[in-house]
Amino acid sequence: MWFYLVTLVGLYYLLRWYREKQVVSNLQEKHVFITGCDSGFGNLLARQLDRRGMKVLAACLTEKGAAELRNKTSDRLETVILDVTNTESIVAATQWVKERVGNRGLWGLVNNAGISIPSGPNEWMNKEDFAKILEVNLLGVIEVTLSMLPLVRKAKGRVVNVSSILGRISVFGGGYCISKYGVEAFSDSLRRELCYFGVKVAIIEPGFFQTAISNSDRHFSHVKMLWDRASSEVKEIYDKKFLLSYLSELKILLGKMSTEDLSLVTDCMEHALTSRHPRTRYSAGWDAKLFYIPLSYLPTCLSDALFYRSSLKPDKAL
């Protein structure tokens, strides 16, 4: 019995490997629009696809970021300035893309732009702190997608949304985890709707990586700023021990458990754009595969206990 079971599992993974190795034809003729290309995953993906010969349309928040990216890539790659929280900027970028793709349509849309601050204990923040992240990470993804969708549908192309393993399990407060849960829900509904038109939607769920938005020093400074501005009542309730415990958890998540190799994420993005049979979800990073995904399936009492354990040991050196 075990022999047959192992054989079936082996055949399944062999067939899956074969299907996923099949590549879309005429990649050099296809346009891909990527948001958040100033740094991090978006910047690396733009350079990666450019080396592969694809026509990359890279959206950056700043002219400096755009200029630096152009200096590192071929003449095929073009840049545009985009603020995903500004409707006029999105409309202008969509028109810019339309002029370049013409009747061929847009093969790939990668919603990568995102921020992670303000984040911290929920009670230390206000509505505006939550809204700031949601405007970029969730509403920005939705508005850019809706604006570009006619172009993607024309090409029967791909939408790749960058979520996070924190879209499966929330480990700290603020709008970041909320926004990623929202991206997961939006992507799921979009995938079911667009399959009718031949459009495929993929979700990228990275673990913790060392990028600009996960910089530990910035997060530490921000949490301490939230503590400083908190009311005397909040400080009395939470006290300094809680602050040290919280910073200890951040030190582990953003330092010891984060990965430097960003290509683990961009390789997933590239596969979602170039494979004839892309996955619906990609988990990038060993922490995502071996810790956070299994953790998300555990009973709540067990997953909570793992985080409470670290809270009992604040790092007094912080």
Q: Profile the chain (318 residues) by mean pLDDT over runs of 10 residues.
A: 71 73 88 96 97 96 96 96 97 97 96 92 93 97 98 97 94 92 97 96 94 76 86 86 81 75 95 95 91 89 73 46
Q: pLDDT value at position 314?
A: 45
Q: pLDDT value at position 193?
A: 96
Strand 108-111 relative to strand 31-34: parallel, antiparallel, unpaired? parallel
Considering only CA atoms, give the Rg of the chain.
21
Q: pLDDT value at position 149?
A: 97
From CA 54, how far away is CA 59, in angstroms rounded?
A: 15
164 is written with which tokens? 């996070």
Domain parsing of the chain, residue ranges: 24-214+259-297
From CA 67, how far away is CA 40, in angstroms rounded?
A: 15
Q: pLDDT value at position 114?
A: 94
**pTM for the predicted model, two decimal places:** 0.90
Which residues are designated catalytic? Answer: 176
**DSSP H or E run through 205:** strand 200-206
Q: pLDDT value at position 173?
A: 87
Residue 273 phi/psi, 5-degree rounding, is -90, -25
Q: pLDDT value at position 312?
A: 44
CATH number of 24-214+259-297: 3.40.50.720
Q: pLDDT value at position 301?
A: 87
From CA 305, how far away is CA 310, in angstroms rounded?
A: 9
At a CB cut-off of 8 Å and minimum separation 6, what does 162 contact?
Answer: 41, 110, 111, 112, 114, 183, 204, 206, 269
